Amino acid sequence: DVKVTQSSRYLVKRTGEKVFLECVQDMDHENMFWYRQDPGLGLRLIYFSYDVKMKEKGDIPEGYSVSREKKERFSLILESASTNQTSMYLCASSKGGSGANVLTFGAGSRLTVL
Amino acid sequence: QKEVEQNSGPLSVPEGAIASLNCTYSDRVSQSFFWYRQYSGKSPELIMSIYSNGDKEDGRFTAQLNKASQYVSLLIRDSQPSDSATYLCAVEIPGNTGKLIFGQGTTLQVKP
């Protein structure tokens, strides 16, 4: 089974702190994604990556950056955390290619910014 | 604007009944569709994917796709209390992008 591991399940940070959310997948998937999930707003795509060192903005990239230095690892960075970034963050990966875009999600990281 | 619409519910059905979950999408050229289940406090997990018009069955679950009407549905037969969860409809942005747009989800409650 594909496994997507997010390093932290729960984080509490202060406004202005730099926050790193780490995600690792173990099935050699090409594609990796960061979503955030908020009540009433559903899942929204922040950033995604099709390959190492490659990244593309999703629907809500403001206030976030990402890093993919290795194929299996995709990090989400909040340069200066703000209270409106309190949310559930979900990492996902997919094999990529036609008909191979089923997403597998990690367990999620619930971030609270005070 | 690409959109995926679902009724947020809650949809309440008695145990053993058929639950019908519906989803509409705005991009006519979409080709790949997915249903995910999300239990409270957990991450989404794939139930079914469907790519062609018609029905696709997997156990108690049937996905139905009608591209002309831009409509995809999920039927759950013999609903069980363990099916109580939020069901997310997702549509891949056309062009084999790998990017999925999610609906807000429908909360299903199966009452014993």
Digits of tens for pLDDT over chain A (114 positions)? 659 999 889 999 999 999 999 999 998 999 999 999 998 888 999 999 998 988 999 999 999 999 999 999 999 999 999 999 999 999 999 988 766 688 999 999 999 999
Output the six-digit token pair for B58.
């997997």
Do A75 and A20 touch, CB atoms closer than 8 A? yes
Which residue shows structure tokens 């999408």?
B25
A-B CB pairs within 8 A amount to: 52
Give the rounded percent of residues in chain B with a pLDDT score beyond 90.
Answer: 82
Residues contacting B83, CB < 8 A, separation 6+: B19, B76, B108, B110
The rounded mean pLDDT for chain A is 93
Q: Which of A105, A109, A110 to mutate to test the interface with B (most CBs of B within 10 A)?
A: A105
Q: What pLDDT does residue B98 have?
A: 82
CA pair distance A76, A47, nearest whole angstrom? 8
Per-residue pLDDT tens over the stretch A50-78: 989 889 999 999 999 999 999 999 999 99
**Which phi and psi angles does A79 have, rounded to 5°?**
-65, -40
**Cα A104 to Cα B67: distance, rounded to the nearest angstrom:** 25
Pairing status of strand A87-94 against strand A31-38: antiparallel
Q: Is the pLDDT of residue B36 over 80?
A: yes
> What are the backbone dihedrals phi and psi of residue B107, each rounded to the nearest 5 degrees, phi first?
-85, 125
Is there a contact between A43 and B88 if contact means CB atoms under 8 Å apart? yes
Judged by CB atoms within 8 Å, which residues 37-76 of B form the interface with A? Answer: 42-46, 49, 51
Amino acid at position A114, single letter: L
Select from B39, B100, B107 the residue whose CB has the most chain A CBs within 10 Å, as the one to mutate to test that interface. B100
pLDDT(B16) > 70: yes
Range B72-98 average pLDDT: 92
- The confidence score (pLDDT) of residue B93 equals 86
Phi, psi of A78 (to 5 degrees): -105, 105
pLDDT of residue A2: 59
pLDDT at B2 over 60: no
For residues A108 and A88, the answer to whether their CB atoms sit within 8 Å is yes
> Is the pLDDT confidence value at B34 over 60?
yes
Query: Average pLDDT over chain B, rounded to whole?
Result: 93
Is the pLDDT at B22 greater than 70? The verdict is yes
- The residues, any chain, with a CB within 8 Å of residue A85's CB and separated by 6 or more, are A63, A78, A111, A113
